[in-house]
């Protein structure tokens, strides 16, 4: 079964007559696939040994691929949020982003929200241009989950969070609301467009 799974998971390259690749680079590609298959079988063998007789290599392979797919979906949602909320002065349109993501414009819009915008800020250290400031209300349903408990505008990731209690709600140009403390308010002001 393991070699069957390896063959499905790592298919051999197909040589066509119109293919411009030389036979040498084709051989290299074949060698690469053989190597990948061997590593795949080896890691399944190791997992089998570690988990005992209850281990199912077919189900484990499917679960692995589902995890890869979920991770790719997460990254796509974050990249959509980035293109929409962080690229200035002209954010990508939902049409353009949707085309790249194989989504309708409204589907692209639904694919991310405040949590994704905040997550992009955490991963990159960036903050989108701000547009509005209000008093902080942790009960505000328009706030993302992270912004209900901490200063998300202040940067730093969730392991290195701003320790100061939020006092303001900052709204960026994409309409996403952030929690902001007194210390980080100057950064909001600095990011305001000058006239």
Interface positions with Zn ion (CB under 5 A): 151, 154, 162, 164, 181, 184
C-beta of 123 vs 165, nearer to Zn ion: 165
Q: What are the residues facing 130 on neighbouring strands?
A: 172
Task: Report the nearest approach of Zn ion to the CB of residue 154 (Å).
Answer: 3
* Interatomic CA distance for residues 81 and 118, integer angstroms: 9
Is residue 171 within 8 Å of 134, Cβ to Cβ? yes
Task: For residue 39, count other CB atoms closer than 10 A to its CB.
Answer: 12
Nearest to Zn ion by Cβ — which residue? Answer: 154
Task: Report the nearest approach of Zn ion to the CB of residue 167 (Å).
Answer: 9
Phi, psi of 127 (to 5 degrees): -130, 135
C-beta of 91 vs 154, nearer to Zn ion: 154
C-beta of 37 vs 150, nearer to Zn ion: 150
C-beta of 37 vs 184, nearer to Zn ion: 184
DSSP state of 104: -
Task: Report the nearest approach of Zn ion to the CB of residue 150 (Å).
Answer: 8
| Length of the chain counted residue by residue | 195
């Amino acid at each position: 079964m393991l070699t069957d799974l390896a063959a499905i998971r790592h298919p051999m390259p197909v040589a066509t007559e119109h293919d411009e690749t030389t036979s040498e680079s084709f051989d290299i590609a074949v060698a690469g696939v053989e190597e990948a298959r061997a590593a795949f079988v080896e890691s399944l063998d190791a997992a089998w040994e570690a988990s005992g007789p209850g281990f199912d290599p077919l189900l484990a392979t499917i679960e692995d691929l589902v995890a890869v797919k979920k991770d790719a979906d997460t990254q796509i949602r974050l990249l959509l949020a980035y293109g929409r909320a962080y690229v200035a002065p002209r954010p990508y349109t939902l049409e353009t982003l949707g085309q790249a993501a194989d989504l309708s414009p409204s589907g692209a819009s639904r694919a991310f929200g405040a949590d994704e915008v905040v997550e992009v800020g955490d991963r990159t250290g960036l903050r989108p241009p701000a547009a509005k400031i209000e008093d902080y209300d942790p009960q505000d349903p328009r706030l993302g989950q992270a912004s209900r408990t901490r200063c998300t505008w202040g940067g730093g990731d969730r392991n290195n969070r701003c320790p100061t209690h939020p006092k303001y709600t900052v709204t960026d140009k994409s309409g996403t609301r952030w929690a902001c403390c007194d210390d980080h308010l100057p950064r909001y002001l600095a990011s305001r467009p000058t006239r």
